[in-house]
Structure 1
Amino acid sequence: MTAVPAAGPALPGSGVPVVPDCGGSVAPDSGVPALPRSGVPVVLVAHGSRDPRAAAATRALARAVEAARPGTPVLPSWLDHTDPGPTEVLRGLAATGHRTAVVVPLLLTAAYHRRVDVPAAVAAAREAAPELTVRVTDVLGPADGTVDAGLLAGLGHRLAEAGPGHVDALVLAAAGTRDARARGSVGRVAAALSAGFGVPCTVAYASAAPPVAGVAVTRWRAAGARRVAVCAYFLAPGLFHDAVVTAARRAGAVAVSAPLNDSPDLVDLVLRRVDVTVGDNRE
């Protein structure tokens, strides 16, 4: 295991820039214009959860994105547990005269839902409304191996809000997946956080893959880290995030961050994904 520094630097909000220069693996945050570029409707596609807080967070994000880009309709949808689904929303746009739409998968990895569920929903919409051109953005996590600087900023801001002060080590806690490539992308985010904040960062999962957050925190403490903080790699609250919080605190974590929710950094990231896709005419 990586040796734990005796005293790590302060996290964002305590004297260290939120996203220092992490090298070529981090895409720069170019900023998002406040004025509309196209007015093309944007359909946000969330995973869905039995926990009503998750749907509320997605609706709040849709409102925030729409407010940041006046003139662009932004509509939430869900793959499971909550209505409407993306196919229904896309068919509704076609029925009201729209001929183009951009789908943004609210996913942090390109695992099963991005590879199978989202394309299936889009294909069903195209079959029902062939006059509608649907373009699909990259997921919000690393795209083409690159970690977006805005994503790191959002994670850093949430961690600062949790108030850990100085820490010796970090744990990046994600929902979990059996997809090895998707886990690799989570690892890239952890590496970028480690490089940016100057402390070691390991990965934990709430399900599907070891270790869980409590075990990851315990390992750091056994290795000599006195102050371990957990950075939540979640877009919305729910049962998995609750499990991370409970396990991490029991293991002695000094802080656990909140999900990204409708943070300005996440809003900017969504709009950058939209702008790149519209500019590329990607389908």
Structure 2
Amino acid sequence: MPREVMIHPLAPAGEPIPLVLVAHGSRDPRAQASTRALARGVAAARPGLDVRSAFLELAEPTPAQVLSALRAGGAPAPIVVPVLLTRAYHGRVDLPAQVAGFDCAIADTLGTVSEPLLAGLVRRLREACPEYDAVVLAAAGTSVASGRATVAGVAAELGRRLGVPCEVAYASAGGPGGADAVAALRAAGARRVAAAAYFLAPGRLYDTVMSDALQAGAVGAAAPLGAARELVRLVLAAADAAAPQLALTAA
């Protein structure tokens, strides 16, 4: 990707505003490693920027620990970027509760339909499976209607971009599961169904839904977005959009 040239917004003291990338967290160490790799990619795209990782649960450091360390070190108020693909419970409730009492701005989640998100999903899919006539968009799952609508919207746009049918599959929250989605597409006439990954990092839910799809006959399963250059772009765009919140707070 072209090197990011936008200068990150400055705090009143002239220092770059730090970024705190907050992911869900997992018992699977691959998930934390993926988030830290993304943080390194964001820092590389904006040299001199202080980018840190935090996790809502199942791993440390927590957002409060990172924000406390920044405050103790005299850093400017940071921008907190939720490394989440839907604005469900963790984005709407959990994260704001965990950063309550700290001077910071919270960016939007990363899953809204956008060119970088679609490009990242397509690239990961083609890396895993260059030929297919239908696609399953595999996601973690949520019981929140707005979150499910987000995933459905991304699936619709992904199908339009690829020119093939696209069905959503969930690892949890009541399905349809990976096998259900593959079966529905095959019943409609598809012969080579591939699974795209609406996941930021590997872990139990990713493994569950992808295994389900492959066992049902999917011809390939894409890797999570991870530290993809497209995700780096999304993080920086979300941070830039949230920066005015800090200016309003300081005014």
Q: TM-score under structure 1 normalisation?
A: 0.82
Deviation at 1:121, TM superposition (A): 1.1
Q: Aligned to 2:191, what secondary structure does the other structure show?
A: coil
Q: Is the CA contact 2:167–2:185 (under 8 Å) kept in the aligned structure 1?
A: no
Deviation at 1:197, TM superposition (A): 1.2
* Superposition RMSD in Å: 1.8
Aligned mates of 1:88, 1:280 — CA distance in 2 = 22
Aligned to 2:165: 200
Q: Which amino acid aligns with 1:135?
A: A
Q: TM-score under structure 2 normalisation?
A: 0.92
The answer to whether the aligner puts 1:246 opposite 2:214 as a matched pair is no
Deviation at 1:164, TM superposition (A): 3.3
Alignment length (residue pairs): 243
Q: Aligned to 1:87, what secondary structure does the other structure show?
A: helix
The answer to whether the aligner puts 1:218 opposite 2:153 as a matched pair is no
Q: Is the CA contact 2:105–2:245 (under 8 Å) kept in the aligned structure 1?
A: no
Matches within 5 A, 1:87-166: 87-124=64-101, 126=102, 133-142=103-112, 147-165=113-131
Deviation at 1:99, TM superposition (A): 2.9
Larger fraction in helix:
2
Runs of 5+ unmatched residues, structure 1:
1-29, 127-132
Matches within 5 A, 1:1-283: 32-33=4-5, 35-38=7-10, 39-124=16-101, 126=102, 133-142=103-112, 147-165=113-131, 167-279=132-244, 281=246
Deviation at 1:192, TM superposition (A): 0.6
Q: Aligned to 1:202, what secondary structure does the other structure show?
A: strand
Q: Which amino acid aligns with 2:116?
A: G
Runs of 5+ unmatched residues, structure 2:
11-15
Deviation at 1:31, TM superposition (A): 8.6
Q: Is the CA contact 2:79–2:104 (under 8 Å) kept in the aligned structure 1?
A: yes
Aligned mates of 1:43, 1:224 — CA distance in 2 = 46
Deviation at 1:36, TM superposition (A): 4.0
Aligned to 1:12: none
Q: Is the CA contact 2:8–2:17 (under 8 Å) kept in the aligned structure 1?
A: no
Aligned mates of 2:73, 2:208 — CA distance in 1 = 42
Percent of residue pairs bearing the same amino acid type: 52
- Which structure has the higher relative contact order (CA within 8 Å, separation 6+)? 1
Q: Is the CA contact 1:205–1:212 (under 8 Å) kept in the aligned structure 2?
A: yes
